[in-house]
């Protein structure tokens, strides 16, 4: 039997139209009740990459998040919304505010969940290049995950969509560590698919109303695409969406690797898009990203560069009230309090930013290495 994907035209982000399009998408799968039942905890996982306004088309549009919260509540589910923004060194709350997501979630009666502060799980892998990594414990605490990616280009992986959106379950600045140990596209794509495999969403709803072309995922140009695209199979969604923006399906390694690992379908002949002609939806002039440094530099040099992107949490004594929450909650016990002094073990710290997110006094400062300042700005 073919894998079903629903592609519904949607030309703007007016709430009433987004609601209709998502309802229409879900009808194809028997409605939201097929995925969510009363009392179930539902993690809604948008793409909240960094501090960008909705119109910059970097983050999943808040109207889509609103609509999905309404759907989850209609089925009696409990909606939680969260992500770990890659560049959230100035605090996740600020990122959510700027992206319009905080207001959307709270006004619809959803709950914002902080991936950094919910505990982490160590994941051992079969890779020589990356023996382990960490993911937020929240993915184990919820009953189902609904993935809300944004259709964009990506400098390293060419395209970012449903599979790569789950990279957000890796907390805080631990993400650059994954890049560090998997600097090339092949290893990085393997790592991304492994992470995706730890938290497979039951449903994926792609924000493809406006996507991003050129130097995505954050420095490209917004581009009208005009669809909401939904399905239970993230691999099939990525196959279809990358094809729409002008790639051949097998150019996208995350799709190929996920398919090889039996995580989903990538053969367009085996994907049912309700009789639509996929070629007529194609945007062949969708601007592709420039070749990123990660594609050119030797892996050893890239590893060296990533090893220099460091964030070191430290305490501002003038703000600290010595509540010791940071000491108790650090998931790897990297903060010790001895003889009335805080001691950080930076060899143990995994840069998850839990302490920074939890400190109510804003007494944890993040000291950035020179390269971290360059990549993340001086915020
Ligand atoms: S959580 Fe903040 S206030 Fe409490 S001990 Fe840590 S740095 Fe100090
Ligand atoms: S000190 Fe602990 S809580 Fe803070 S960033 Fe490092 S690992 Fe995370």
Tell me the pLDDT tens digit for each residue of 39-54.
Answer: 999 999 999 998 899 9
User: Any idea which ligand is nearest the CA of 324?
Assistant: 1
| β-bridge mates for residue 5, sequence order | 231
Q: How far is the CA of 172 from the centre of ligand 1 (A)?
A: 18
350 lines ligand 2 (CB under 6 A): yes
- Mean of pLDDT values over 7-14: 97
Q: Name every protein residue with a CB atom under 6 angstroms from any ligand 1 atom.
A: 315, 320-326, 359, 361, 363-364
| Cα–Cα nearest to 219, from 377, 11, 13 | 377
pLDDT band, very low/low/confident/very high, at 226 (cuts 50, 70, 90):
very high
Give the pLDDT confidence score for residue 180 in this predicted structure. 83
Which of 113-117, 176-180, 257-261, 292-296 is predicted with the least confidence, judged by mean pLDDT?
292-296
Q: Does 376 score more than 70 pLDDT?
A: no
Instruction: Kindly report, residue by residue over 90-124, the tens digit of the pLDDT.
Output: 678 999 999 999 999 999 999 999 999 999 999 99
- Mean of pLDDT values over 309-323: 93
Enter the CATH code of domain 3-296: 3.40.50.11440
Q: Does 379 score more than 80 pLDDT?
A: no
Give the pLDDT confidence score for residue 266 in this predicted structure. 98
Q: How far is the CA of 364 from the centre of ligand 1 (A)?
A: 7
Separation CA 266–CA 275 (nearest Å):
17
Residue with CA nearest ligand 2 atom 2: 330
Residue with CA nearest ligand 1 atom 6: 326
Give the pLDDT confidence score for residue 173 in this predicted structure. 81
Mean of the per-residue pLDDT values of the chain: 93
- Mean of pLDDT values over 332-359: 93
pLDDT band, very low/low/confident/very high, at 86 (cuts 50, 70, 90):
low
Ligand 2 pocket check: which of 332, 343, 367 to mutate, most ligand atoms within 8 Å of Cβ?
A: 332
Q: How far is the CA of 82 from the centre of ligand 1 (A)?
A: 24
Do 69 and 107 contact (CB within 8 A), yes or no?
no
Separation CA 224–CA 209 (nearest Å):
6
Cis peptide, bond prior to residue 217, ω within 30 of zero: yes
Separation CA 249–CA 275 (nearest Å):
19
What's the number of CA atoms in the CB half-sphere (13 Å) around residue 339?
A: 1
Q: How far is the CA of 336 from the centre of ligand 2 (A)?
A: 11
Enter the CATH code of domain 310-376: 3.30.70.20
Ligand 1 pocket check: which of 117, 316, 320 to mutate, most ligand atoms within 8 Å of Cβ?
A: 320
Number of neighbouring beta carbons within 10 Å of residue 187: 18
Residue with CA nearest ligand 2 atom 4: 355
Scan for tokens 């367009």, then name that residue.
Answer: 268
- Mean of pLDDT values over 149-169: 96
List, in order, residues 6 or more apart from 275 with CB less than 8 Å away: none
Q: Does 259 score more than 90 pLDDT?
A: yes
pLDDT band, very low/low/confident/very high, at 305 (cuts 50, 70, 90):
confident
- Mean of pLDDT values over 351-356: 89
pLDDT band, very low/low/confident/very high, at 66 (cuts 50, 70, 90):
very high
Which atom in ligand 1 lies closest to the alpha carbon of residue 360? 2
Q: Does 78 score more than 80 pLDDT?
A: yes
Q: How far is the CA of 108 from the centre of ligand 1 (A)?
A: 32
Give the pLDDT confidence score for residue 89 in this predicted structure. 67
Q: Does 176 score more than 90 pLDDT?
A: no
Instruction: Kindly report, residue by residue over 20-46, the tens digit of the pLDDT.
Output: 999 999 999 999 999 999 999 999 999
Counting residues of the chain whose pLDDT is more than 70, the rounded percentage is 96
Do 258 and 196 contact (CB within 8 A), yes or no?
yes
Q: How far is the CA of 326 from the centre of ligand 1 (A)?
A: 6
Domain boundaries along the sequence of the chain: 3-296, 310-376
């Amino acid at each position: 039997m073919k894998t079903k994907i629903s592609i519904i035209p949607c030309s703007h982000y007016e709430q009433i139209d987004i609601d209709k399009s998502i309802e229409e998408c879900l009808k194809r799968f028997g409605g939201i009740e097929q995925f969510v039942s009363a009392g179930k905890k539902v993690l809604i996982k948008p793409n909240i990459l960094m501090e960008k306004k909705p119109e910059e088309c970097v983050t999943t549009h808040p109207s889509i998040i609103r609509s999905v919260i309404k759907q989850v509540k209609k089925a009696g589910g409990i909606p939680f919304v969260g992500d770990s923004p890659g560049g959230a060194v100035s605090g996740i709350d600020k990122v959510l505010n700027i992206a319009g997501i905080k207001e959307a979630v709270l006004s619809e009666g959803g709950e914002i969940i902080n991936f950094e502060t919910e505990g982490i799980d160590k994941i051992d892998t079969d890779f020589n290049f990356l023996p382990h990594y960490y993911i937020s414990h929240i993915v184990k605490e919820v009953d189902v995950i609904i993935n809300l990616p944004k259709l964009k280009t990506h400098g390293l992986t060419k395209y970012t969509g449903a599979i790569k959106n789950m990279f957000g379950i890796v907390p805080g600045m631990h993400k650059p560590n994954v890049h560090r140990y998997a600097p090339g596209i092949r290893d990085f794509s393997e790592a991304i698919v492994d992470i995706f495999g730890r938290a497979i969403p039951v449903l994926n709803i792609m924000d493809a109303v406006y996507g991003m072309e050129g130097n995505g995922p954050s420095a490209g140009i917004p581009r009208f695409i005009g669809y909401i695209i939904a399905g239970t199979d993230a691999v099939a969604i990525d196959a279809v969406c990358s094809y729409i923006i002008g790639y051949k399906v097998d150019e996208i390694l995350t799709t190929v690797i996920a398919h090889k690992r039996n995580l989903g379908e990538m053969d367009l002949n085996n994907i049912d898009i309700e009789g639509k002609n996929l070629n007529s939806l194609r945007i062949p002039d969708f601007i592709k990203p420039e070749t990123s440094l990660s594609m050119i530099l030797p892996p050893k040099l890239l590893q060296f560069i990533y090893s220099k992107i460091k964030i070191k949490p430290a305490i501002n004594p003038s703000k600290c009230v010595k509540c010791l929450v940071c000491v108790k909650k650090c998931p790897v016990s990297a903060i010790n309090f001895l003889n009335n002094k805080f001691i950080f073990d930076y060899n143990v710290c995994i840069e998850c930013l839990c302490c920074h997110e939890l400190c109510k006094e804003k007494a944890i400062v993040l000291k950035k290495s020179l390269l971290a300042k360059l990549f993340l700005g001086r915020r």
